[in-house]
Amino acid sequence: MYTQLEQRGMDTPPVNISTLRKMKAEKTPIACLTAYDASFAVLVDKADTDLVLVGDSLGMVVQGHDTTVPVTVDDIIYHTKMVRRGLRRAFLVADMPFMSYTTPEQALENAVRLMQEGGAMMIKLEGGSSQIEIVRHLTRHDIPVCAHIGLKPQSVHKIGGFKVQGRDSGQALQMIDDAISLQDAGADIVLLECVPNEVGKAVTRKVEVPVIGIGAGPDVDGQILVLYDALGITQGRLPKFVQNFMESDSGSLAEGCVRYVEAVKNRSYPAPEHCFS
């Protein structure tokens, strides 16, 4: 475990929300990955990943469920604690699981647990304008918030599958409005999943906070992938936006993480074949 004192002596200081805002302003791509344990957190951090998310995707890639719905607050805390111990530089975000933020009070109580018990620096929740009151309540209590819009995996049973969102113009405009309203309510980051390139570009232009995309095209401020997808660990059919960074040679997992970060930084990922129109 690295202490605050050790971190102060580092050549590259730990990433914080100001670092991420500056990266947006300077058009430096933000490289993000998920992680679920300390060993992978070390690899991801050493690769210079800027932001690490303990995503509720752990329900699928670690626990073996078909969706993220069964994941609990205790599960996220357990994994966030482990990831925290492996990180030195990256900014740590933890997911609020399904039904853990149905009221402002419940959201605050669970967000505080993710930060105090897990060690998260920011929490992520799914939802558009319906979550404004929750985001406002959290940010009024100085809880940093990442708002996840576009495809919301926790709503998979309501949507009817993992599908591209925002293809019709009404839905796209609603998404842009949602991003602005969430920012105005205090969200510090917008995460945009599985939308056409044009929607990714429009949202990124309209808001001042960093926009991190997953299947949202090349014109967002940063990219994120589920770590096990990026390292070719996940079996079966993968979303179109996934690139396996282990594919090109027989290198190590550490090299796979480095290749991902380089590809985001030099904008070779995402390529046209990873994008939606």
Q: Are 195 and 174 in contact (CB under 8 A)?
A: no
Is residue 216 within the footprint of ligand KIV (CB under 6 A)? no
Helices (H), 98-241: 104-113, 132-140, 156-159, 169-185, 197-206, 227-230
Among 45, 50, 56, 188, indicate the residue that binds ligand KIV (CB under 6 A): 56
Does residue 193 carry a catalytic annotation? yes
For position 224 contacting ligand KIV by CB under 6 A, the verdict is: yes
Q: By CB under 6 A, is residue 95 in contact with ligand KIV?
A: yes
- Quote the CA–CA distance of 120 and 144 in Å, as a whole number: 10
Residue whose CB is less far from ligand KIV, 151 or 207: 151
Q: Is the peptide bond before 196 cis (omega within 30 degrees of 0)?
A: no
Interatomic CA distance for residues 42 and 85, integer angstroms? 8
Picking from 212, 207, 208, the residue whose alpha carbon sits closest to that of residue 223 is 212
Given candidates 14, 31, 34, 35, which one binds ligand KIV under the rule CB under 6 A? 34
Candidate list 209, 226, 242, 261; residue touching ligand KIV; CB under 6 A: 226
- Touching ligand KIV, residues 109-168 (CB under 6 A): 148
Distance from first CA to last CA of the chain, Å, rounded?
44
Task: Confirm or reject binding of residue 55 to ligand KIV (CB under 6 A).
Answer: yes
Q: Which of residues 167-196 bind ligand KIV (CB under 6 A)?
A: 191
Q: How far apart are CA 101 and CA 160, in angstroms?
A: 22
Q: What is the DSSP letter of 115?
A: I
Q: Which of 126, 193, 208, 255 is catalytic?
A: 193
Residue type (1 letter), 147:
A
Applying CB under 6 A, among 29, 30, 50, 57 the residue interacting with ligand KIV is 57
Q: How far is the CB of 154 from ligand KIV (least distance, A)?
A: 9
Asked if 257 contacts 233 with a C-beta cutoff of 8 angstroms, the reply is no
Comparison of 211 and 226: residue with beta carbon closer to ligand KIV: 226
- Minimum distance from residue 174 beta carbon to ligand KIV (Å): 20
Residues in touch with ligand KIV (CB under 6 A): 34, 53, 55-57, 95, 148, 191, 214, 224, 226
Which residues are the active-site residues? Answer: 193
